[in-house]
Amino acid sequence: MLQRLAERYLENWIKKPNRKPLVLRGARQVGKSTLVREFARKNDKILIEINLERHLFLEDIFKTLDIDDALKEIEALSGIPISATDTILFLDEIQATPHALQLLRYFFEEKKELPVIAAGSLLEFTLAEHSFSMPVGRIEYMHLGPMTFTEFIMAAEPPLTRYIENFSINTSLPKAAHEKLKKKQRDYVFIGGMPEAVQIWCETGSIRDVADIHRSITETYQDDFSKYAQSHQLALMQRVFRTIPRIVGDKVKYSNISREHPSKNIKDAIELLSKAKICHKIYHSHCSGLPLSADIKETVFKLLFMDIGMMNHICGNDWTFLQSFPDHELVNEGAIAEQFIGQHLLLTQSPSPSLNYWVRQAKTSNAEVDYVISQGPLIIPVEVKSGKSGSLKSLQQFVIKKNIFLAVRFDLNPFGFQDISHQISTSNGIETAHYKLLSLPLYLVDTLPKIINEIRTSS
């Protein structure tokens, strides 16, 4: 079975003395149910799993908020006593019976000894359609996205995992490991992180089988649209769904998606897909302080798709296409590198994934930094470069304007960490940018939080 790093989160959660019910959020088919089942199996727990889509009658019982009645029904369905030792209650597809969300409060208050996990794919729609108060402070959220590159390596070539997990600013990777990881990163660009696609790749190594999985998932998502869109929206939803992978990295202009539909309708479709975690809005932030999300401009944003493998499938970028390009052309084609890095930066932002970028429009010259993240008190610009070289002019403009200490560049070069002093032309004349530049190969994106923390504690 595939290993998920989120299992460590569950291990810490279940040991908490004041443990709250845990709600797993994320798009369909990213592996929420499998994660819970594997966690229970590996930890010798008895799993009481109730798929609420198959037992809709429970909604009337949950409405009463009577925890004892609810547990009697769950025991009758599962045939397993709730009081059994080492039991976990797993309520899957919780959005199907919305009052189960409200009932979680009473699990916390009255049955604290029982570990409860709930999972749902469209919780935002459920919350928007119901006026009951959520059990704030009595539940815990965890976001699960597609498999990361590290998780992919753990499944596809386990011996390489140690080079990622043990990486430090005081170590250097062997050249052979660097080249192997670059090649595996290119494989990941095609396969992506949807667990079913990774599993079939590990089992068969068949490109065709992976493409079939991507096709099946795409069809499932499009079938799902009818669950959270009205009939007159379906055609537009499908259009937007298939357009987003082609405009990754670009500022969203509704006219570039469709000239036949009103902007408001396109905006609503994007909002629905964003709520379903099929895409993610990356807002422009002025980056004048923390949190970055408090300084955003909501009308200026770009989009990331949910998964890079799915993105390339929808764009028609097949295996031959992705493998035939030299390095610098590959990562530049279709904003693939920006999707890869952005997708992983989002996955480090649990429980509430969010990401920003910075753009400055001026008469003489524009500047744009691909992503801006924060860690502790630091605001950190992140540039994604195509291949092994590229200008850092925008990043340096940002460093001077915001008085930044540390900047990050992802490209195809080996790791580097250096002090930079570079003169650039600004509106105030010639100024010098002084900063530390952390250069990382694309495949080390999962290590970024750890490396930044290492730099902060050593400086």
Asked whether residue 164 carries a pLDDT value surpassing 70, the answer given is yes
For the stretch 300-336, pLDDT in tens is: 999 999 999 999 999 988 777 666 655 545 444 548 9
> 5 falls in which pLDDT band (50, 70, 90)?
very high
| pLDDT at res. 351 | 59
For 83-92, 116-125, 304-313, 444-453, which range has the lowest pLDDT when averaged over its residues?
A: 116-125
Complete domains list, the chain, with CATH: 6-143 (3.40.50.300), 151-458 (no CATH)
| pLDDT at res. 344 | 97
| pLDDT at res. 334 | 45
Asked whether residue 438 carries a pLDDT value surpassing 60, the answer given is yes
Mean pLDDT, the chain, integer:
90
| pLDDT at res. 333 | 58
Q: How far is CA 385 from CA 6, 116, 370, in A?
A: 29, 44, 9
Asked whether residue 53 carries a pLDDT value surpassing 80, the answer given is yes
Asked whether residue 90 carries a pLDDT value surpassing 70, the answer given is yes
For 104-118, 131-145, 425-439, which range has the lowest pLDDT when averaged over its residues?
A: 131-145
**Mean pLDDT of all residues in 86-100:** 94
For 82-86, 125-129, 420-424, which range has the lowest pLDDT when averaged over its residues?
A: 125-129
| pLDDT at res. 331 | 46
> 122 falls in which pLDDT band (50, 70, 90)?
confident
> 131 falls in which pLDDT band (50, 70, 90)?
low
**Mean pLDDT of all residues in 292-300:** 93
Is pTM beyond 0.85? Reply is yes
Asked whether residue 426 carries a pLDDT value surpassing 90, the answer given is no
For 97-101, 177-181, 300-304, which range has the lowest pLDDT when averaged over its residues?
A: 97-101
Asked whether residue 147 carries a pLDDT value surpassing 70, the answer given is yes
| pLDDT at res. 350 | 59
| pLDDT at res. 159 | 97
* CB-based contact 29:220 (threshold 8 Å): yes
For the stretch 383-418, pLDDT in tens is: 998 666 667 889 999 999 999 999 999 998 999 999
For 97-106, 321-330, 363-372, 424-433, which range has the lowest pLDDT when averaged over its residues?
A: 321-330
